[in-house]
Amino acid sequence: MVAPIAVTIAGSDSSGGAGIQADIKTFSALGVYGACVITALTAQNTRGVALIEAASPAMIAAQMAAVFDDLDVRAVKLGMVGDAAAITVVAEGLALRRLPVVLDPVMVAKSGDRLLAPAALDALRRQLLPHATLLTPNLPEAADLLDCAQATTEAEMTRQGKALRAMGPKAVLMKGGHGAGETCVDLLICADGVTRLTAPRRATRNTHGTGCTLSAAIAAGLAQDWTLPEAVARAHAYLQGAIAAADGLGVGHGAGPVHHFHKVWANG
């Protein structure tokens, strides 16, 4: 057996619920070997982020070269990049390789702490969006990227998704987790139309790392040669299971993580 390989380019979460750690857990749970490029260290837990220390552009470039020059990477998940210098070096590295890229535009942690420097937002738009096979913004992130008000209806989500797609990504997944109502609606916006994915909105505070987990799960699907709609649908179902099982973990005293191994641990 030759394992499919995906790489996550993101920040480290010392509490293990989001970032690099969540991505590699997700890859592993879905049968994909995970490698990583760490863009920043964070001192954080379920209550908040205490400190962020960025990796140097040289270190990011060296990690990318080390991973891509040796491993047969099939897909890339791109998360927290932190600042404009990191964005530039990541974009340069991606330009050398033609791989599926799932871009989760991580800007703010679940605790509300800022993870992307405001000055780097334009660099993210110009340099990274054109590399994305799929962009996966939540509603506040979409509004920041477009410099507009947050969408409150599905029609507005669709319009914003199409506007974001016009900025370079081949497809956009507008995530409705920050919306209202008993049903959470995500919209996959591609060249050939819009696909609606729904799930019941669960009453839990343990949703730390949901965005990281979903984007990593999609990248895992692409690494296994699934079509984009299939990868998104399967990742959506996986995440719903991870959220449903999250309260059983009992990790931390704040917003705990989702249960990445809900299927594996349930079977002993």
CATH number at residue 64: 3.40.1190.20
Whole-number pLDDT of residue 106: 82
Helices (H) and strands (E) in the chain, counts: 9, 9
Any idea which of 15-29, 104-118, 218-232 has the lowest mean pLDDT? Answer: 104-118
**Identified catalytic residue from 26, 42, 88, 207:** 207
Mean pLDDT of 217-228: 98
Specify whether 210 is catalytic.
Answer: yes
pLDDT category of residue 266 using cuts at 50, 70 and 90: low
Residue 113, in any domain of the structure: yes
Which position among 210, 213, 221, 256 bears the catalytic label? 210
Q: Is 34 a catalytic residue?
A: no
* Average pLDDT, rounded, for the chain: 93
Residue 267 belongs to some domain of the structure: no
Span 203-221, mean pLDDT?
Answer: 95
Domain that holds residue 46: 5-258
Looking at the 3D structure of the chain, how many domains does it have?
Answer: 1
Q: Are 226 and 234 within 8 A, CB to CB? A: yes
- CA 28 from chain centre, in angstroms, equals 16
Domain assignment present for residue 266? The answer is no
Active site residue 190: no
Is residue 241 a part of any domain in this protein?
Answer: yes
Alpha helices in the chain (DSSP H): 19-29, 57-70, 84-95, 121-123, 139-146, 154-165, 210-223, 228-244, 262-266
Who's near 72: CB < 8 A, 6+ residues apart?
Answer: 5
What per-residue confidence (pLDDT) applies to 236? 97
**Given this model, what pLDDT does residue 268 score?**
44
Residue 88 known to be catalytic: no
Instruction: Tell me the average pLDDT across 154-163.
Output: 97
Answer whether residue 89 is part of any domain: yes
Q: Is the pLDDT of residue 113 over 90?
A: no
Annotated catalytic residue, options 11, 136, 212, 213: 212
Position 117 in a domain: yes
In a domain, 131, yes or no: yes
In a domain, 265, yes or no: no
**Which entry of 176, 209, 221, 256 is annotated as an active-site residue?**
209
Q: What is the pLDDT of residues 81-101, one digit of tens each?
A: 989 999 999 999 999 998 999
